[in-house]
Structure 1
Amino acid sequence: MAEYDVIVIGGGPGGYVCAIRAAQLGLKTACVEGREALGGSCLNVGCIPSKALLHASHSLHEAEHNFARMGLKGKAPSVDWKEMLAYKDDVIGQNTKGIEFLFKKNKVDWIKGWASIPAAGQVKVGDETHSAKNIVIASGSEASSLPGVEIDEKVVVSSTGALSLPKIPKKMVVIGAGVIGLEMGSVYARLGSHVTVVEYLDQVTPGMDGEIAKTLQRSLKKQGLDFVLGAAVQGVDAKKTKATVSYKLKKDDSEHTLDADVVLVATGRKPYTEGLGLDALGMKMTERGQIATDHWRSSVPGIWAIGDVTEGPMLAHKAEDEGMAVAESIAGQAGHVNYDVIPSVIYTSPEVAAVGKTEEQLKDEGRAYKVGKFSFMGNGRAKAMFAGEGFVKILADKETDRILGVHVIGPSAGELIHESCVAMEFGAAAEDLARTCHAHPTVSEAVREAALACGDGPIHS
C-alpha cells in the first residue's frame, strides 16, 4: 500500500493541474487515470481534437472563399478526411504526451486504472489500495442524451463519435444548439454536409447574451446551417446507415421529421462518478447528481471535489482554477477562484467570447448599466482579414463605470476576452480600458473603442 499526501482521481484539466500544483507545493502526489492517455475528455475527445478540426475546416473555408480575393489563385484544396483525422490524432498525441512529461518532471505518480473509494483516506485501483491524507475527485463528465434516444456512436453519435466519423455525412442533424452542437455542426457544414440544428429553446447558445446569440445564428445561417428552434425532439429512429429525427414544434404542436446520415446528440453533459462508491461513503449530492461542496470540500472529511462533478459551468479552465485552488488549500495556503470572472468561448467562425453579466441578467437584477459597442467593420485589421462581422459589447455600471460584463463576437474573440478578464479581476472601470494604449493595427483596438463608447464615444464609429 503506497501512502500519499494527495491522490487525485481523474487526469483531465482539473485533475492533472491539481496534481502538478500539489507536487510543486511539496506534497507527495499521485493521479489515477483509467484512459490510455492523460488529459481527460478535453484533450482526448473534447476541446483539443474539436479545435483541430475547427482549424482545418476554417482553413478550407478561407481557401475556398477568400484566397482569390487576396490574389492567391489556384485550385481549391480537396478534403482527405483520413488525413485530416490523422492530423487531429497527432495533435491529441502531442498534448497528452506533454502531460506525461509534466508528471515525470514534477514527480507525480500516474496510477493507471479506474478508482474507487472504499473508505475515507483510501483509493482502490485494481487489486491495490493506496492511502492518502487527501483525495480529490476530478472525474469529469460524460455526454448526456435524451429519453428514448440511444447513442450507438455510428449513426447516432455524441461529441466523441462526431470526432471520428468514418466519412463526411451528406446530411447531419444536430440536436442541441449549445457550444458543442454549433462547433461540430460548423465543422461538418464547412466540409460539405447539410447541417440542421434542432433546439428546444427559442435561441441558440442558451444563457448567452441575447444580442450575441442572434448575431451568431444569422452568421451560421449564412454559412449554410439550418435552424429549427422551439422544437421538442420526440425520438430518433436509427437504421444501419440512416436515421429519422422526429420533433414537435412547441408553438403549434405540429409534428415533423428530418432524415439524416448522422445524428449528433449535443444536449449537454452530466457528472461522471460511476464506480467511485460515493453512495456507500454517504457523500452528499445535489439534485442534479453533482457532488455538493463547500470551498471544494465534500461532506466526507478528507475528500475534495472539483470540475464537472461539482456545481457551476462545465469548463476546462474552471476545473483548472479549482485544481490549483484545492492543491493550495491542502498545502495550507489560501486557494481562491473568482467565479464572477470565468470566460466562456465558442470556437465557431466568427468566434464568440463572454465574461461577466449579460444584459438580460442585469435587467433581471434591476441594475443600472450602460452599454458601449463597437463593430469590427470599423477596425482596419479586421477588414483586412475579411473579418469585419461582429462587435465588442461592454456593460458597465451606470454610476461607477465599473465593468460588469464583456461580450465579443468576431475575429480572435477567444483571445480578446482576456484583457477584459484581467480588467474585471482588478475592478477596472470602462474608462481604464479606454485610456490604455492598444497597438495599431490590431483587432484588440475594437475593445478599446467599445470602452470609449461607454464614455464620450468611440473614435472610429
Structure 2
Amino acid sequence: MEKYDVVIIGAGPSGYAAAMRAVDFKKKTLLIEKNTLGGAGITNGALSSKTWWELSRDMLAFRKNLARYNMTAPATIWKEIQLEVNQAVKERIDLLQDHLNQLKHSSQYNTYLDYQTGTAEIIDEHTIRISTENINTDVEADYIIIASGSRPRILPNIPIDEKHILTSDTIENMDDFPKSMVIVGAGVIGCEYATIFAGFGQTKVYLIDKGDTILPFEDQDVVAVIEKTLEEQGVHIHRNSTLVNMEIKDGQVVYQLEFSDGHTETFEVEKALISVGRVPNYENIWSDAVPIKMNRRGIEDTDTNTSVKNIYAIGDITADINLVNVGELEGRYAIEKIFGKPCRQLVYENISTIMFLNPEVAGVGLNEKMAKEQGLNYKAVTVDYTTIPRAIAKRDTQGFIKLLVTDDDEMKVLGMRVVGEQASSAIQAVALLISMDKGIEELAECVHPHPSITEGIQESVRALLGKSILKSGLLKNKVNCYCYNCEKEELRAF
C-alpha cells in the first residue's frame, strides 16, 4: 500500500490550493478528483456563470450605446455565447492540467504530487480507497483533507428534470434563450442569473421572493439600487410570495404562488431555475468507522480541524462561507497548520465578496444590518457615485460607497459596501485595514490615481474625519455621515 503525507479528496479551488501548498512544504501528496479538475469553481459555478455575466453586461452596454444613436442591436445568438463560455472554462481547466503536468515532469517538484481521477472513500483514519471503474486501490496517509465541495439544493416537491425545471448545474446547457423564465430564490445566485438573462434582453424573467425585498441579508439602500435596475430591465419580482406548486404541462412550466395577503395566482413560463442554495457533498466520502461529526450545514470544523484529529475539511463541505477565495484560504491554512505554523489566524471578517449584479456589489466586513444585530454603535458615511469623476466620465453614476467604522476616537473599520461600476476594485485596501484592526487615517492621505473609483473611498474617509472636499449633508443624498446608537436604536446625522 502506497503511503502519502497527505491525501486531498477533491480538486476544486480549495483542494487544488491545498495540494500546491503541500508541494511548498515538500510533502508527498495525492490529489483525487472524481469529476472535472477545478470543480464547481470553474464548471457550472464561479468561472462559467461570471463569464455569462460579463458577456451579458457587454451586450446590455452594446444595446444602450446603439440606442444612443438610434441604431438597433442585433439579437444575441445563444450558441455563440455558450461557445465563448465553454472556451473560457476549457482555458482554465487546461491551465490547471498543464500546471499539473509540468509539476510531474519538473526535477524540482516531480516527487511531491500525484494526481488521480476516481472516487475516494475514507475507510479508516489513515486509509483511503480509490475506485476507478472496476478497480479499487487503497492508499495510506498521515493526514487527510476533505474538499469535496457542494451541489445545488433540491426542493423535494418540485419535479426537477434539468430540461424544463433546472438547477445552476444545467442552466447553461440549454439550447437557446427561453422566452420566459422563473427563478425560485432571490438570494445571490438567483439574482445573478436574473441579471444575466435580463441583460441579454431576450428572456422575460420572473423572480420569486418570499419576503418584501430581494437579497434579505443586505442593507435596504443596496437592495433598492439592484431592484430598481432589475425592474427597469423587465424583471418581474414576485414579492411576499410562497411557491405552492410547480409542474410541467405540455412542455411549459406552470407554477402557483400564494401571496402574503392570502390570494393565489398561477403563471406559465418556458423554463424554471431552482436557486435555493447549495448542500455539501459528503455522501459516501467516509465509512461509518470514521467518526466525523456533521451538522445541518456541513462538517463541523474548528479552524479546518474535524472531530478526527488527522482529518481536515475545507471549502464548501464545511459550515463556513461558501466562496472560492475562502476555500483557497482554508486549503492553504490547513496545510500550514498540519506541516508548519500559520503566520496568522484564520479569520473571515475581512473576506471580500462580489455579487455579480447590475451594478455589481462588492463588500467586506459588516453591513449595517449585521452591525445592528451584533449590538454595535457605529459611524457611517455614504458617498454617491455622482460625486466621483471616474464614474461621471464613464457615464455611469448609478451606485454609492458606504463605509462603517466604530463610533469612537479610533474609528476602526467595521465594513464597507460598494455598489456600482468597478466596485470590486475599490475594497481591497479596506479589507487590509480590517485584517490589521486599524483605523481609517491611513486611507485619508493616500494619493489615489485620478480619475479613479477609489477616490470615492478617500472622500468617504475624509468625510468621517471632518475634512472632506464635499461637505456632508449639503448636497442632497450625495455625501452623508450619520451615527447609530444600538441602545436607543436611532440614527442621527453628524
Partner of residue 310, structure 1: 318
**Partner residue of 2:263?**
254
Matches within 5 A, 1:190-201: 190-191=199-200, 192-201=202-211
Q: Given residue 48 of structure 2, which amino acid in structure 1 is its aligned partner?
A: P
Q: What secondary structure is seen at the aligned counterpart in 1 of 2:218?
A: coil
State whether structure 2 residue 27 is matched by structure 1 residue 27: yes
Contact 1:32–1:115 (CA under 8 A) maintained in structure 2: yes
1:324 — aligned with what? Answer: 332
1:419 offset after TM fit, Å? 2.0
Contact 2:217 2:369 in 1 (8 A): no
Find the counterpart in structure 1 of residue 85 from structure 2. Answer: 88
1:158 Cα shift? 0.5
The match for 1:102 is 99
Q: Which residue of 1 aligns with 2:438?
A: 428
Counterpart of 1:172 (choices 173, 181, 196) is 181
| Cα displacement (A) at 1:59 | 0.8
Structure 1 equivalent of residue 10 of structure 2? 10
Instruction: Check 1:398–1:278 CA distance in 2 against 1; reply closer, same or farther (3 A cut).
Output: farther
Relative to 1, partners in 2 of residues 1:215 and 1:134: Cα closer, same or farther, differing over 3 Å?
same
Where 2:42 maps in the other structure, the secondary structure is helix
- Secondary structure in structure 2 of the residue aligned to 1:190: helix
1:67 Cα offset (Å) = 4.8
Cα deviation 1:128-156 (Å, max 9, x = unaligned)? 11111111000011100223013211110
Q: Which runs of 5+ in 1 are unaligned?
A: none
Deviations 1:45-85 (A, max 9, x none): 1010111111111111111102564x7x8652431211110
**TM-score for the superposition, normalised by structure 1:** 0.95
**C-alpha separation between the residues in 2 aligned to 1:246 and 1:295?**
44
Unmatched 5+ residue regions in structure 2? 104-108, 471-478, 480-494
- CA distance in structure 1 between the partners assigned to 2:31 and 2:87 by the alignment: 24
Q: Residue 118 of structure 1: CA displacement? A: 0.9
The match for 2:389 is: 380
Letter in 2 for 1:97: D
- Residue 448 of structure 1 corresponds to 458
Q: Which residue of 1 aligns with 2:127?
A: 122
Q: Distance in 1 between matches of 2:218 and 2:27?
A: 40
1:76: which partner in 2? 73
TM-score normalised over the length of structure 2: 0.89
> Is the CA contact (8 Å cut-off) linking 2:218 and 2:369 kept in structure 1?
no
Secondary structure of the 1:99 match is: helix
CA-based RMSD of the aligned residues comes to: 1.7
Q: Equivalent of 1:233, from 213, 219, 243?
A: 243
Q: Which amino acid aligns with 1:12?
A: G
Q: Counterpart of 2:40?
A: 41
Letter of the 1:393 partner, please give it: K
Deviation of 1:459 after TM superposition, in Å, equals 1.9
Number of equivalences: 456
SS of alignment partner, residue 45 of structure 1: coil
Aligned with residue 394 of structure 1, among 399, 403, 416:
403
Instruction: Report the equivalent of 1:296.
Output: 304
Aligned partner of residue 464 in structure 2, secondary structure: coil
Counterparts of 1:182 and 1:445, CA distance in 2: 29
Q: Give the distance between the partners of 2:461 and 2:159, measured in 1 at CA.
A: 48
Q: In percent, how many aligned pairs have the same letter?
A: 29
Aligned mates of 1:329, 1:47 — CA distance in 2? 27
CA-to-partner distance for each residue in 1:102-139, whole Å, 9 max, x for gaps?
A: 33325432110111111111111111111111110000
CA contact (8 A) 2:254 2:269 kept: yes
CA-to-aligned-CA distance 1:156-200 (integer Å, 9 cap, x gap): 000121112111011100011111111111111122100010012
In the TM superposition, structure 1's runs of 4+ consecutive aligned residues that sit over 6 Å from their partners are: none
Q: Offset at 1:27?
A: 0.9
How far apart are the structure 1 equivalents of 2:214 and 2:67? Answer: 32
C-alpha separation between the residues in 2 aligned to 1:289 and 1:369?
31
CA–CA separation in structure 2 for the residues paired with 1:77 and 1:51: 23
Give the counterpart of 1:151 among 160, 176, 179.
160
Which amino acid in the other structure matches residue 43 of structure 2? N
